[in-house]
RNA sequence: GUCUCCUUCGUCUAGUGGUUAGGACACCGGGUUUUCAUCCCGGCAACAGGGGUUCGACUCCCCUAGGAGAUGCCA
C-alpha cells in the first residue's frame, strides 16, 4: 500500500521550528517510502486565522525546498485541501454521528463552561465538561433550536471500557474511556469543525496511511480512534514524535528566542543547515554521522531511528551547523547569498556598481570563515565600502606603547603601504617583518595600529587581504588621518603636562 | 487534581545482556596565526534512585522520584 502522509498546519501564526520539524519528518518519511506527502491547511479557527500566516506557510516551505505532492495551489485527487472549503462535509459527517447516536447537540453557553471550569479548579476535581446536554431528548433539542439557541455538536464518549492505539514509536497507548476528555466538541457553533472532527474526516477521505505528529497530541489520540470507530472506519497508523523543547525543558516558545523560521531566515541561516539540524533533534542515523543533505534524508530517513524522549533545541549547535554549511559553499554561491544582506544594510547600492561587485567577489575568501550567519557580512565588510566614522584612539595604541611610538610605527607602515598592491603577500609580509625589526616592535604591534586605521576595528579580516581590497590610495588616506589624530592628541597631552 | 508519555555527559545522541559506555555541540587547556575567525590536538563530563530477573545488567520487569504534555466552541 502506498504511504500517504500529511502536514496539516493551522495558519494562526508564523511557521515555527516545531511545526517544520513535523513537516520534515513527514516529508522524509513519504520520500523514503516512495509515498505521497500532502499539505492540508487547517484553517477552521476563524478567530485566529490570518492571511499572513498562510503566506508565511507557503514561503517557508518553499524556502526549505519542501514540495508537496497534493495540497493547496497544486491540487490533487482528494481536494480541496483547505478545510474552510470543506465545511459542508464536516456538517454532513457530524449529522451522521448524531443520527447514529454517537454525538449530540449541546446548548451550554461558553459562560457556563467557563464557570464550570473555575469551580472544578478550585475544588480540585477532575476537569472537563459535565455532560449536561448529553441526554437531551430529541424534543428538547428541537425546542431549543426553534427558540433560537445556538448549539455545538459533541462526541458521546463511552462511559465504560477503554480505547487504545498502537503507536509505531511508543507501542500501545491505552486510556480508560472515563479518562478521555468528556465529550469534546466536534462542530462549533459557527458551523466549523474542531480539529478532532476535521482531521479524522479528512485523513480518512484523503486516504492518509500514517499520522506523524507531535506527542502533545497523544491525549487526543483516543478521541480520534473513537471517532474512526463511530464512523466505522479503520484508523491510520500513528507515530507520535518527540517534542522540541527550550533550554528549560518546556515546550519551545518565543521566550526561548527566535522560533519562527522566518526569523532564522532573516538572520542569515541557510535552509540546508536548518533542515539538517532540526532533523537531528529527535532522529539520528548512527553513532557518528550528522551531516545530511535534504536529498540524503529523503532516502535515509526511517521511523525506527526516531528517539522517544523530547529534545532541547540548541541554538549554539544550529549556529555551528550554519557555519559549517557556509564554509562548504563556493565563493560564487556565497556572493549570491551575501548580496541581499549588503543591500538591505546599505553597504552597497541597490544597483550594485562594478567596483562594488569586484570587491564582493574578491572579499569572500577572506570573509567566509568568519561568518556564522550570512547577516554577519555587513559589519564585517563595511570598512571596504564606506569611510570609517569614528576611531577609538585607545584601540590604535598597542600595549606598552604611547602616542609617539604609535605614530612612528604607523609612519613606517605607511611607507610599505605605498606600492603595496604591486607586490605579493609574501613579499609584503617579508617587508613588514623587516620593518618592524627596524622600528624594534613586534610584527603584531605594527600591524594592529594599521589594522585599526584601515578597518576601524581591532577585529578585522587579515590585514594584507584587506589592504588589497581597499586599495592603497584609500588606505593611505586613512593612515594619514589617524596619524593626524594621534598628533593632535599628543599635542594636547604635552600641553597638559606643562601645566 | 486526573490521565498519558518520557528519563545515557550541560545539550543532541550511539548503544538493543558481557564495551576502558562511542561521537558531536558547548566549555576548558594547547598548537597554527598579523587581530578575529577557521583549522588541528588534548581535557572535563553521563547510564535518575531502589528493588528484582540473570552467571552477568545502560540494556528486560516492577516501584519511586523527576520532567513534560493534555485536560478549550485552539490546533
Identify the structural domains of chain A with CATH numbers, from first to last: 1-72+242-328 (3.40.50.620), 86-241 (3.40.50.620), 330-376 (1.10.8.70), 393-498 (1.10.10.350)
CA angle A383, A385, A388 (to 5 degrees): 40
A124 band by pLDDT with thresholds 50, 70 and 90: confident
Task: Let me know: does A73 contact A55? Beta carbons within 8 Å.
Answer: no
Specify burial of residue A251 (Cβ count, 10 A radius: 0-12, 13-18, 19+): middle
Quickly count: other Cβ atoms within 10 Å of residue A58's Cβ.
Answer: 16
Catalytic entry in A74, A176, A254, A492: A254
A125 band by pLDDT with thresholds 50, 70 and 90: confident
Gap from A344 CA to B32 C1', Å? 36
- Please list the residues that pair with A106 across neighbouring strands: A152
Enter the C-alpha cell of residue A195: 480539529
Gap from A283 CA to B62 C1', Å? 29
Which nucleotide C1' is nearest A320 CA?
B25
Does the annotation mark A33 as catalytic? no
- Give tens-digit pLDDT for A127-150: 889 999 999 999 999 999 999 999
Gap from A397 CA to B11 C1', Å? 41
Residue nearest to nucleotide B34 (CA to C1'): A444
pLDDT value at position A495?
78
Gap from A246 CA to B68 C1', Å? 12
d(CA A232, CA A442): 84
- Complex ipTM value: 0.96
pLDDT value at position A1?
86
pLDDT value at position A498?
63
Residue nearest to nucleotide B10 (CA to C1'): A247
- Give tens-digit pLDDT for A14-54: 999 999 999 999 999 999 999 999 999 999 999 999 999 99
Residue nearest to nucleotide B11 (CA to C1'): A314
Gap from A138 CA to B58 C1', Å? 60
Residue nearest to nucleotide B36 (CA to C1'): A459
Q: Strand B: which bases are under 7 Å from protein Cβ? A: 1-8, 10-15, 22-26, 34-39, 67-75
- Give tens-digit pLDDT for A56-67: 999 999 999 999
d(CA A110, CA A195): 18
Amino acid at each position: 500500500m502506498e504511504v500517504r502522509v500529511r502536514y496539516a498546519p493551522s495558519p494562526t501564526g508564523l511557521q515555527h521550528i516545531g511545526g517544520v520539524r513535523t513537516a520534515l519528518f513527514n516529508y522524509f518519511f513519504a520520500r523514503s517510502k516512495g509515498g505521497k506527502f500532502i499539505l492540508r491547511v487547517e484553517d477552521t479557527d476563524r478567530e485566529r486565522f490570518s492571511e499572513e500566516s498562510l503566506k508565511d506557510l507557503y514561503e517557508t516551505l518553499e524556502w526549505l525546498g519542501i514540495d508537496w505532492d497534493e495540497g493547496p495551489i497544486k491540487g490533487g485527487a482528494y481536494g480541496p485541501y483547505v478545510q474552510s472549503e470543506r465545511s459542508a462535509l464536516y456538517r454532513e459527517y457530524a449529522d451522521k454521528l448524531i443520527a447514529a447516536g454517537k454525538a449530540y447537540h449541546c446548548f451550554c453557553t461558553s459562560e457556563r463552561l467557563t464557570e464550570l471550569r473555575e469551580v472544578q479548579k478550585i475544588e480540585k476535581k477532575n476537569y472537563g465538561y459535565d455532560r449536561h446536554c448529553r441526554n437531551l431528548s430529541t424534543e428538547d433539542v428541537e425546542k431549543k433550536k426553534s427558540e433560537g439557541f445556538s448549539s455545538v455538536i459533541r462526541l458521546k464518549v463511552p462511559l465504560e471500557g477503554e480505547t487504545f492505539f498502537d503507536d509505531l514509536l511508543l507501542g500501545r497507548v491505552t486510556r480508560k474511556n472515563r479518562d478521555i476528555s468528556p465529550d469534546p466538541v466536534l462542530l462549533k457553533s459557527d458551523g466549523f469543525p474542531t480539529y478532532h472532527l476535521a482531521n479524522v474526516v479528512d485523513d480518512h477521505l484523503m486516504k492518509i496511511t500514517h499520522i506523524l505528529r507531535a506527542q502533545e497530541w497523544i491525549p487526543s489520540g483516543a478521541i480520534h480512534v473513537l471517532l474512526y470507530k463511530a464512523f466505522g472506519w479503520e484508523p491510520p497508523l500513528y507515530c507520535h514524535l518527540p517534542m522540541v523543547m527550550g533550554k528549560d525543558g518546556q515546550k519551545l516558545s518565543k521566550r526561548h528566542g527566535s522560533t519562527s523560521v522566518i526569523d532564522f531566515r532573516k538572520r542569515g541561516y541557510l535552509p540546508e543547515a536548518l533542515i539538517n539540524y532540526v532533523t537531528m533533534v529527535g532522529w539520528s542515523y548512527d553513532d557518528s554521522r550528522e551531516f545530511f543533505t535534504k536529498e540524503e534524508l529523503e532516502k535515509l530517513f526511517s521511523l525506527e531511528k526516531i528517539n522517544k524522549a523530547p529534545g532541547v533545541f540548541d541554538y549554539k549547535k544550529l549556529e555551528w551547523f550554519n557555519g559549517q554549511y557556509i564554509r562548504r559553499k563556493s565563493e560564487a554561491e556565497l556572493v549570491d547569498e551575501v548580496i541581499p544582506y549588503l543591500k538591505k544594510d546599505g553597504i552597497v547600492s541597490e544597483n550594485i556598481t562594478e567596483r562594488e561587485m569586484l570587491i564582493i567577489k574578491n572579499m569572500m575568501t577572506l570573509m567566509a570563515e568568519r561568518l556564522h550567519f550570512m547577516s554577519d557580512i555587513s559589519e564585517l565588510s563595511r570598512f571596504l565600502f564606506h569611510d570609517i566614522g569614528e576611531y577609538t584612539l585607545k584601540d590604535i595604541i598597542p600595549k606598552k606603547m604611547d602616542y609617539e611610538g604609535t605614530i612612528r610605527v604607523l609612519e613606517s607602515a605607511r611607507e610599505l603601504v605605498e606600492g603595496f598592491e604591486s607586490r605579493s603577500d609574501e613579499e609584503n609580509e617579508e617587508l613588514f617583518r623587516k620593518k618592524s625589526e627596524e622600528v624594534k616592535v613586534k610584527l603584531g604591534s605594527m600591524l594592529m595600529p594599521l589594522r585599526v586605521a584601515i578597518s576601524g576595528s581591532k577585529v578585522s579580516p587579515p590585514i594584507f587581504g584587506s589592504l588589497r581590497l581597499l586599495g592603497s590610495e584609500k588606505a593611505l588616506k586613512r593612515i594619514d588621518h589617524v596619524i593626524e589624530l594621534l598628533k593632535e592628541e599628543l599635542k594636547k597631552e604635552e600641553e597638559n603636562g606643562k601645566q
